[in-house]
Amino acid sequence: MNGKGAMIGLVVLAPVIGIVVVVLLLFVIITGAGDDDAAAATCGVTRAVSGTAVAVESGDLPTKVGAYSGDQVKNAAAILSIGKERGLTRHAQQTALMAAMTESTLNNLSGGDRDSAGLFQMRPSQGWGTLAQITDISYAINLFYERLVKVPGWDTKTPGEAAQAVERSAFPDAYATKSANAVEMMNALSGVTVSTVSQTTEGATCTQGGTGATATNAVLSTGEQPASGPHAAQINQVISFAKQQLGEPYVLGGAGPNVWDCSGLTKVAYAGIGINIDAGHSATTQWRNGVARGQMHPLSEAQPGDMIFWGGNDAWHVGISLGGDMMIAAPKPGDVVKIQKVWGTPNNQVWRPVDGL
C-alpha cells in the first residue's frame, strides 16, 4: 500500500483465526437467476455486485474454487463472513475479495514489499497496525472494511476502483483483473448466483447476447487494441493470462507461478493455448524458433498477442504486444510484470505463434 512495489512476498499459509467457517459447495453459475442482483449483462461491462451481502453456507469447505484451494478458500470465506457480520453489501465483499486476491492471492503472507504483510499487504509503517495485528486474519479483514466504508462514494465506484482507494497501490489497474474470480468465489461459497457478468476472461463465465459465451479480453488498458481475426479468442487467452501476473516480480529464470522473467512469461502464456514456443525458455531461442517456423511479421504490422523482441538474432528480451505501441512484459530485475510502451529499438519483426493453429 501507499505506492508499494511488488505485491507478492513469501507465502506462509495460515488458518483463519477466531473464525469457524464451513461452507457447502454449490458451484453452479446460472444465467438470469431469480436473485435480486443476478440479472444477466453484456460481457465486459464494468459492474459492481451490489445488494445484501451473501452468507457463507454451512457444511464442508470446497477443496478448490477456480485457482484457489485450502487456506485460500478459508480466507475467502472469512472475508465474506465478516462482511456479512458487519452489515455490508455484496459490493463490499467483492471489493475485499479482489483486493486480497491481487495483494496476496488470498494467502496470509508473513512479508512482502518493504514492510507489507498479511492478506491485504498492509504496512505497519503506514499506520495499519503491528505485524502481529495485520497478519491476524480477523483484524486485517475488519480493518479493510473499516477503511473501505470511509472512502467517499465507495459504493458508487467499481470494485477495482474501490479496492485501489483503500490499498493505494502502484498498480491500480490490477484489481479489476480479479473481478470474475471474486464473483466465482462468492457464488461457490454462498450457493447463490450473485452475478454472471465478468470484466475479464478469468473466473466465472458471463452472458454475451444471451449466448452464455465466456468473456473475452474485454477490459483494455490505455492504448491497448482489441484482438481480431480467426484466432482472437486464443490471443485474448494469452493476454489475459499475462495480465493475471501484473505486479508479480521479475526473477531471472522465473517461469511462474509467482515470479517471471521475460521468456518465462511468454512461454507459459502460449502454453495455455497449446503452443510450445520454447523447449526451455529464453528470448534468444524463442526468436529463432519464430524465424524457423516462418511465422514472422513486420514490426509495423504488430497485432495483439505478437511477440516483440530486442537484440537481433541473439535476442535478449521479449514481450507480448497489446497492439499499437503497448505491450505487457516482465522487464528486468527489480521490476514487476507490467503494461508499458514499446521502448527503444526492437527487432524489425515480430513472431505471431497463432499462425501455426
- Look at 219 and 185; give whichever has higher pLDDT: 185
Q: Poorest-confidence range of 28-42, 57-71, 126-140?
A: 28-42
End-to-end Cα, the chain, rounded Å: 42
Q: What pLDDT is recorded for position 200?
A: 32
- List every span in the chain annotated with CATH 3.90.1720.10: 232-356
Query: What pLDDT does 329 receive?
Result: 95
CA distance 29 to 321: 33
How much is the mean pLDDT over the chain? 79
| pLDDT over threshold 50, residue 196 | no
| Close Cβ partners of 246 (under 8 Å, ≥ 6 residues apart) | 171, 173, 174, 177, 328, 336, 337, 338, 339
Distances (CA, A) of 137 to 13, 54, 62, 78, 162: 11, 19, 20, 8, 21
Contact 185, 83 (CB under 8 A): no
Decide if pLDDT at 233 tops 70.
Answer: yes
Q: How confident is the model over 297-320, as pLDDT tens digits?
A: 999 999 999 999 999 999 999 999
Query: Packing angle between helix 90-104 and helix 137-149, nearest 10 degrees?
Result: 120
Helix axis angle, 179-190 relative to 159-167, nearest 10°?
100
- 340 pLDDT band, cuts 50/70/90, is very high
Mean local confidence (pLDDT), 165-190: 84
pLDDT score of 34 more than 90: no
How distant is the alpha carbon of residue 185 from its chain centre? 14
How far apart, in whole angstroms, are the C-alpha atoms of residue 57 and residue 118? 25
Half-sphere exposure of 3 (CA within 13 A, CB side): 2
Residue 10 has pLDDT above 70, yes or no: no
| 104-118, 192-206, 305-319: least confident range | 192-206
Q: What is the pLDDT of residue 192?
A: 66
Model confidence, pTM: 0.48
The cell numbers describing 85, all together, are 457480520
Q: Give strand pairing partners of 69.
A: 64
pLDDT of residue 194: 64
How far apart are the C-alpha atoms of 98 and 177, rounded to whole Å? 8
- 344 or 221, higher pLDDT: 344
Least confident of 175-179, 198-202, 318-322: 198-202
Q: How far apart are CA 157 and CA 155, in angstroms?
A: 6
pLDDT for the residue 43: 32
Q: What is the pLDDT of residue 5?
A: 40
Q: Which helix (H) or strand (E) holds 253?
A: none
Q: How confident is the model at residue 59 (pLDDT cuts 50, 70, 90)?
A: confident
For residues 91-110, give the mean pLDDT: 94
pLDDT top residue among 48 and 215: 48
The mean pLDDT of 82-103, rounded to a whole number, is 93
Dihedral sign for Cα atoms in the order 161, 51, 76, 34? negative
Q: Calculate the alpha carbon distances from 94 to 9, 39, 106, 183, 310 in Å.
A: 23, 17, 13, 7, 40
Is residue 189 over pLDDT 80? yes
Confidence of residue 88 (pLDDT cuts 50, 70, 90): very high
In the predicted model, what is the mean pLDDT of residues 331-356? 93
Residues 6+ apart with CB under 8 A from 163: 95, 96, 98, 99, 102, 175
Angstrom CA distances, 292 to 20, 200, 248, 289, stand at: 58, 34, 31, 5
CA distance 223 to 154: 27
Q: Residue 76: which of 25, 110, 113, 28 has the closest Cα?
A: 25
Type of residue found at 189: L
CATH 3.90.1720.10 assigned to domain 232-356? The reply is yes
Q: Cell digits for 8?
A: 507478492
What cell does 158 get? 467499481
Give pLDDT, residue 49: 62
Q: State yes or no: pLDDT of 164 exceeds 50.
A: yes
Q: How far apart are CA 293 and CA 353, in angstroms?
A: 9
pLDDT greater than 90 at residue 193: no
pLDDT, tens only, 263-304: 999 999 999 889 999 988 899 999 999 999 999 999 999 999
CA angle 151, 203, 268 (to 5 degrees): 110
Q: Which of 51, 108, 49, 55 is nearest to 80 (CA)?
A: 55
What pLDDT score was predicted for residue 212? 29
30 or 88: whose pLDDT is higher? Answer: 88
Partnered with residue 321 across adjacent β-strands are 327
The whole-number pLDDT of residue 66 equals 84
